[in-house]
Structure 1
């Protein structure tokens, strides 16, 4: 079994300067991670679809410093200095220094941009931390060319997790499991793993249209939300439910049963929001238009028998999930019936992807 100690690196060559660039996608959880233990360890396992179009592109330039006493970096967002992002990167470097002791030897210029609009209501912490972690691992591989590809991706996911928990699911694979689960032997609390079984053809090129109901800043941060699961009256039942639902979803992903897929995914989305509504303090993250969209989706599905469903992150936006072979009909429905509930009519069409890419 892989442990944290396996990711502590000690054997390095010397490089004066260089540059790497990676893109990493966002992901959407089907079974939700909500609640965590110390050191970004999940309280329950989760499984996600990797997206393709909504991604962060990060370039990392590095040059050797004369002194090794502090972290040194400049941060640019879309080519312009972004000082308010720097504390999060500083904290990330502090968390991973134990595993990447070479970081203080270099000055970094981190230049990052998103393919989706800034402040669109789509969380960029997962894609952003994943892209930065891929760049750091490219530097590590340059310093130690003997590391294997398996180690490269495992450690990238491990590092990304320490920046943003769900970022570990944005490294590699179209379906990714994070958190120890009895029926997935390769699963780990320390990093995400590619779903190990054959994915049924029903889920090939699965579509995700993201309806941007509210593009404002999140009402409650993910960190605060996860912390509210401590002493939550329904926490233990919820964690058991996540294990049960992942077992059920594993069968569905193999047998292609879209009716069961819909039941699990929608139940998970509503349970996530139920946890927030029953925490102390409590929050309602859905907006009136979120509920309007959900009801429209249910009505459309009942009338047409088209296997369309929704899921939600910890916010008001709606991810509409459906198979590729019904995309033309569903997009017509979205444009005619749902876009009016989006802020400024904004939505994003995405599709299941494969993870981070070297550019």
Structure 2
């Protein structure tokens, strides 16, 4: 198994003065939730996610070697970058990028040799309440790895994607699941070959056709800022009275999903996925301090989904991130009737009637 030292380069075989890359990277939705972390963005429990297709970040990275015209303060051991969001300077994003570069410098020693211009945009509204840290950090990691690949063309594709996932993780834990694959596992799990705490891996086992082209319609219940940041939420697990049992449960549920993916049992899939969503929120409600992240309309939607599923026997379910929005998951072959149900009965619970239709995707894509 690879260790962090395996991702520290010894030397580069090529030199490059300037260039530009552009990558898109999607968001993802966890089925078994990662909640709680150790030092250096190591997860306290394994997780598995569906990679999305339409909700993504597109990031262009231009780079040029520092030269005599570069200010001495920048030449002498400083990171140098400009940050644009949708074409406009975004100063309040810069501290997060600065911290990210500090974390990954040991793995990318060329970072202080260049000035970077990072130009990024999302395909979903920035104020939609959909977390963009996973897609954003994954897209930036892909671009930075493209530079390293140019400096070391002998790099294998397998190493390229593993290291990109490792770097993304150091920006935002769940970002490591947005690099490659339709179903991605992050965290050591005994029964999943190649799984690692350091990076996400494509789920290596069989996946039944029932889960191919799975749909995710995201109901935007609350588009405001998160009530509690992910960092604070994860930290609350350190002294949580139910943390250890929760971590055990995540391993158990990942084993259950591994069997479910192979068998195609949608009924059991629904049980695990909905239980995981509610457990995540239960952990926040029982932490100290405690938080209720759902809104009244979140509960209205959940109850409506339960009633619809009970009445029609159609295999539609929900999951939640650490917020009020609802991800409605269902197979492609029932999409017509489920979308009609969403329009008829659920859209009224969304802020300004807004929702986003998404589906399983394949991960990051190089555009330039």
- Does the TM-score normalized on the shorter chain lie above 0.5? yes
Query: CA separation in 2, counterparts of 1:192 and 1:100?
Result: 19
The reply on whether 1:240 has 2:248 as its aligned counterpart is yes
Q: CA offsets per residue over residues 48-101 of structure 1, 9 Å max, x none?
A: 000000000000000000335110000000000000000000000000001101
1:333 maps to: 341
Whether contact under 8 Å (1:68, 1:105) holds in the other structure is: no
Query: CA separation in 2, counterparts of 1:11 and 1:198?
Result: 39
Gaps of 5+ in 1: none
SS where residue 319 of structure 2 aligns? Answer: strand
SS where residue 164 of structure 2 aligns? Answer: helix
Equivalent pairs counted in the alignment come to: 359
The 5 A counterparts of 1:137-148 are 137-148=145-156
Whether contact under 8 Å (1:15, 1:143) holds in the other structure is: yes
Q: CA offsets per residue over residues 204-254 of structure 1, 9 Å max, x none?
A: 100000000000000000000000000100000000000000000000011
Query: CA separation in 2, counterparts of 1:265 and 1:122?
Result: 19
SS where residue 225 of structure 1 aligns? Answer: helix
Q: CA offsets per residue over residues 289-330 of structure 1, 9 Å max, x none?
A: 000000000000000000000000000000000000000000
Query: CA separation in 1, counterparts of 2:76 and 2:158?
Result: 30
Deviation at 1:9, TM superposition (A): 1.2
**TM-score scaled by structure 1?**
1.00
Query: CA separation in 1, counterparts of 2:127 and 2:35?
Result: 23
1:93 counterpart (90, 101, 113): 101
Q: Which runs of 4+ in 1 moved over 4 A?
A: none
Query: CA separation in 1, counterparts of 2:79 and 2:131?
Result: 26
1:41 maps to: 42
The reply on whether 1:280 has 2:281 as its aligned counterpart is no
2:85 maps to: 77
Query: CA separation in 2, counterparts of 1:325 and 1:315?
Result: 29
1:27 maps to: 28
SS where residue 47 of structure 1 aligns? Answer: strand
Q: Which moved more, 1:266-275 or 1:12-21?
A: 12-21
**TM-score scaled by structure 2?**
0.97
2:327 maps to: 319
Query: CA separation in 1, counterparts of 2:253 and 2:90?
Result: 40
1:9 maps to: 9
